[in-house]
Amino acid sequence: MPTLVPRTWIAGVPRGYGNNRVAAEWLQAIEHALSAYRNASVAHPEHARYNVAFEFHIDPTSARYGAKPKPFRIHGPDVDNLVKQTLDGLAQTRSKGLPPGLRIVTDDKAVHRVIASKVIVSGDDRMGAWVKIRFVDGADGPDDEIGDVA
């Protein structure tokens, strides 16, 4: 499986869903870090498939996440919401008022495998995410590995 985006750091505050302002901040961070891969999907066939790995570094005590964490919030945002918002940045967002997405992958529906994890860090300057995207062209056999992002 060819690597489409090698392990790359996105500096910023990983976000799930929320208001457009905070969602836009994370989508802009994705755009800044991965702009070299913008529109990479145009070179792929319509039936292209992708495998994606994310490692989100979050500080749940950060004021940038809003109110002080309650006992159930000590783990930070839901990893599935972080994945969804980040995939939108890699593909194409359809919400007005948000960055349009990079179209690195043809559509988030074309993502066949996601591996995602959260790492708790201390300090806003250590927050962000590692991302790695592999293109599954069908010639490489089963799409059972994409490699570690760590």
Q: Assign 98 to helix, strand or coil.
A: coil
CB atoms within 10 A of CB 102: 25
Q: Mean pLDDT over residues 87-93, rounded?
A: 86
Q: Is residue 145 part of a domain?
A: no
* Residue range(s) defining the domain that contains residue 112: 3-136
CATH of residue 126's domain is 3.30.1330
The band of 124, judged by pLDDT with boundaries at 50, 70 and 90, is: confident
pTM as predicted? 0.85
Q: Is residue 147 part of a domain?
A: no
64 to each of 58, 60, 88, 99, how far by Cα in Å? 11, 9, 21, 20
**pLDDT value of position 54:** 97
Instruction: Please determine, for residue 5, whether its predicted confidence score (pLDDT) is greater than 90.
Output: yes
Q: Mean pLDDT over residues 66-95, rounded?
A: 80
Q: Assign 60 to helix, strand or coil.
A: coil
Half-sphere exposure of 141 (CA within 13 A, CB side): 3
Q: Which residue, chain included where needed, has tokens 């995939």? A: 87
Q: Is residue 149 part of a domain?
A: no
Give the single-character DSSP code of 15. -
Q: Is residue 144 part of a domain?
A: no
Number of domains making up the chain: 1
